Amino acid sequence: MPEGWENVVVTSHFKVYTPDISRLDARFFRLLLQTKDFKNWLWANRSGADGRTEVKLDVFEMLEIPLPPIREQTALCDAYSTALYHAPRLEQEAQTVEDAGVSAFETALGVAAPPPPPERLVFVARFRDIERWSHEGILRAALQPNASTTRIWPVTRLGNVVADLENVWSPKCHDHQAGKDRWGVLKLGAVSFGIFDQSQNKELPERLSPRAAYEVKSGDVLISRANVVRYVGACVHIEETRSRLMLCDKIFRLRFRENSRLLPRFLPEVMRLCSVREQIEARLTGTSPTMKNISKPALLDLSFPLPELEDQQALITDLTTARQTATAKRAEARALRASAWTAFESALFATGDLPEHQSPPRQEAADGSLPNGPSAA
């Protein structure tokens, strides 16, 4: 329990223990309960029907646990905490790098948020600038008159640079993901989070014929036309995908004009801009809070800045580099955490697992899995 908590009540499913601090470091006990060996023991000793299992209290309290001297417990916990010290810093650095990359992208397009204005501000703007560009760029120029000038790109409508948005029917599919050689129909989750997720699909029943013309392929750009508010208009560029996956009626695929002035990989980034999101959310229809829609004409009417092709490519390259750097830092943080946990478990059970007489044959779940690794608690 965190220090400072008072008047806390728990249900009968919780057992409250007060550690003898002369023999047990509370941090040690918390980590011990999250080790693989201890979880395996709990899993093997559970009772009750599936969906409501438990470990009986008398069984739990009869278990013998490794209990090094208090000084060694504290040393193990301190070593674990020290090993984790750099992980949060790496994650913060990753977020800073990614945020800076996005900010540079928005600034280059002239749509980054301006600095907070003073309490009173008087400035002059030309109507032609307001009509052709964002108020953020005008306000930034007023607040930072000596800053380097951001190039003003022409504004275009999506309908000016794409030939069409296409989708198809949504047949009644199986609830499970399509098998390796089976046709599947994409779910909204395939595009909702900014990266194409091919696992988000449902298998097409054998009695229905696939529409091969609507099979998605590498290089396609997809936009969701329905979802909860924050995911309507979610846009992804497919880098790679398995075969035999079809569009559904809630996802549009863009058909680009010949010699289009818009790079496919540039559009998903533009669709994340606050100025574009504001346009999308202003055009939503539907009364259900969990399923809003946007029409094809509304999407085609979205306006955004459009640099020259080589400038689009340069902006995407810089943004991709920033994200790759952030991803590497997050991976390093995960590796640090995993290494620290492995070191803790190895030191704790250096002399063996839980006593053999306490380890009955393991009972596996229906899918053959066993709980494993430290929890988030």
- What pLDDT does residue 365 have? 43
Q: Give the whole-number percent of the chain exceeding pLDDT 70.
A: 82
Q: For residues 250 and 149, give the distance between their C-alpha atoms in angstroms, rounded to a whole number.
A: 41
- What pLDDT does residue 63 have? 86
* Residues contacting residue 46 through CB under 8 Å, at least 6 positions apart: 53, 54, 55, 363
Q: Which two tokens stand for residue 314?
A: 């340069």
Q: What integer is the mean pLDDT of 23-41?
A: 90
112 HSE (CA, 13 A, CB side): 19
* Residue range 302-355, pLDDT digits in tens: 999 999 999 999 999 999 999 999 999 999 999 999 999 998 888 877 644 454
Residue recorded with tokens 């060694």: 72
Confidence tier at 37 by pLDDT (50, 70, 90): confident
Residues 155-306, CATH architecture: Alpha-Beta Complex (3.90)
Question: Taking 70 as the threshold, does the pLDDT of residue 289 lie above it?
Answer: yes
- What pLDDT does residue 38 have? 87
Question: Taking 80 as the threshold, does the pLDDT of residue 150 lie above it?
Answer: no
What are the boundaries of each domain within the chain? 114-152, 155-306
| Average pLDDT for the chain | 85
Q: pTM here?
A: 0.72
* Residue range 342-370, pLDDT digits in tens: 988 888 776 444 544 454 444 444 444 44
> Quick one: which H or E segment has residue 158?
helix 158-161
45 HSE (CA, 13 A, CB side): 19
Q: What integer is the mean pLDDT of 3-32?
A: 90
Q: What integer is the mean pLDDT of 207-218?
A: 95
* Residues contacting residue 61 through CB under 8 Å, at least 6 positions apart: none
- What pLDDT does residue 49 have? 80
- What pLDDT does residue 148 have? 47
